[in-house]
Amino acid sequence: MRGDLQQNKQGRNVYDVIVVGGGIVGSMIARELSKYKGRFALVEKEPSTGFGVSKANPSMLHSAFMFPSGPLRHRLVYDAASRYRKLAGELDVVFNEVDEIFVALNTTQLEKLEKAQKWAEENNLPGGHRMIGAGELLELEPHVTPKALGALHGKGVGGIYAPEWTFALVENAVQNGLELYLSTEVKDIGREKDFQYDVVTSKGILGTRYLVNAAGLFVDEIARMVGDNDIKLILTKGVMAILDKSVSHLVRNMVYGSYGKDHSQLVTPTAHGNILIGMGYFTCPEHKADTGVSGEKLSEVVEMAKELIPAVSEKDVITSFAGIRSENTKAQVMGDFYIGESEHAPGVIHAAIGSPGLTAAPAIAEYVIELLSRAGMAMEEKKDFKKHRTGWRRFEEASFSEKEKMLASDPRYGHVVCRCEQVTEAEILEAIRRGADTTDAVKHLTRAGMGRCQGGFCGTGVLNYLARYMGISPTDVTKKGVGSYQVCGFTKEKRSQHG
């Protein structure tokens, strides 16, 4: 079939499956697909994977009892930590294993947590959730508020950094034959007949037999292109802030206060050592790109964090951001995931995912493969699948002897470009060589620009490395794609070398 399609569409790339969306879910699906024989592609409208919803969330795994309603998401988040732990070893990326602690500040919260613990036991949740008293809580978290009455303690969760993971997942998938289209927006989807679709993109038309719609906040728009008008999204926005690494000692685990459909109170270590606080009371965004943060909302999340960890200070906030969450109206139970084959376009799988999509992503990928098989796709595993991907050494994390070896192998490890995060020239150039072509992409992969000064010191250096390596003018380097140029001109007419 694949050969026939290619013969009938001269000059057009034709695939067995196209995945639309390069967030954590789409990237997991792409990597899972690459285990099988066939021709597969991932189409992402941003210049890098993980640039959408995936980068604007806490990137922490959640327990199933935080989302007891919704049978599909409850099933898919089960024992997520073990899946991530295994993948971290295969992909050479960071998985920060921590516990989760739900703090009770009053008797009502204490009763709620006791019920949650009973529910966890009845449903055999991994982690051995148990109630602990104020004394044991202080041993686990010395900086927690003395007003705490007790807590629910669960083991075996953790955190990742989603853009780093999406890059690794897709890079490994490309090693196994996936074709990647970045900065490629899907404009329309034409249907010649069942299992024969034309995906009209900003860079041309791609043909496919099957299509997986993992477009995140735009899953409803992709669905409408194939005639499914009943997938609608309800959006809410939460605010988060990152604290300087000088206060990373304030928490060791994910510390929750109260939480619900309308708010979340969280203080947690990130995968790379900062502390993240958020998400406050959710608001309704004006549109899908409404990620602005007001001073009022930032103050709100800081005050809520202080209720849990009094030593948290607004002076330690180095950056803030907003993330947009979604629920779909298609699932039988409100709040649940909707993952299923199109009712109007056979071979098209829609994945309308809300919270906790990141937690469930590995299991979602396996489920999508199952649905493709049910839809008629032959799933034959590759005997030569390359499951291991090698990252690159982090100078900051290396021991003294390891640093000596790194310097001996490449003297550019001796040039620290980002002082805050101790990122070297060698790491930046390796990220660019492997596909990072914007300053944000370099930041997400190396952490250059994620420290206290937020790129104030290293930003110009990173921009110049990008210009030199790609052979373009600094005026053509962008922060995160078309329209985000950082240099608009030169103060001197004559210029030889930049930087």
Give me the active site residues, please. Answer: 62
How far is CA 73 from each of CA 8, 50, 67, 364, 405, rounded to the nearest angstrom?
41, 21, 8, 9, 46
Q: How many CB atoms lie within 10 A of CB 405?
A: 12
Among 231, 67, 61, which residue's Cα sits nearest to residue 155? Answer: 61
CA distance 224 to 231: 8
Q: Which residues of 16-25 are buried (b: 16+ CB within 10 A; e: fewer)?
A: bbbbbbbbbb
Q: Is the four-CA dihedral 147, 261, 50, 439 of positive or negative sign?
A: negative
Number of other residues whose CB lies within 10 A of the CB of residue 40: 24
Contact 271, 94 (CB under 8 A): yes
Whole-number Å distance between alpha carbons of 3 and 471? 38
**DSSP letter, residue 150:** E
How far apart CA 160 and CA 173 sit, in angstroms, is: 19
Rounded Cα distance, 66 and 299, in Å:
25
> CB of 403 within 8 A of CB of 412?
no
Instruction: Report residue 241 as tokens.
Output: 């802030």
Place of tokens 């597969």: 40
Phi-psi category of residue 414: left, alpha or beta, with phi > 0 → left and psi -120 to 50 → alpha: alpha
Cα–Cα distances in angstroms (integers) from residue 410 to residues 92, 421, 429, 442, in the given order: 21, 19, 12, 19
Question: String of b and e for 149-187 (b: at least 16 CB within 10 Å)?
Answer: ebbbbbebbbbbbbbbbbbbbbbbbbebbbbbbbbbebe
Evaluate whether 181 touches 203 at the Cβ level (below 8 Å): yes
Return all residues near 358 (Cβ < 8 A) that are at least 6 apart.
Answer: 24, 54, 57, 59, 60, 61, 160, 162
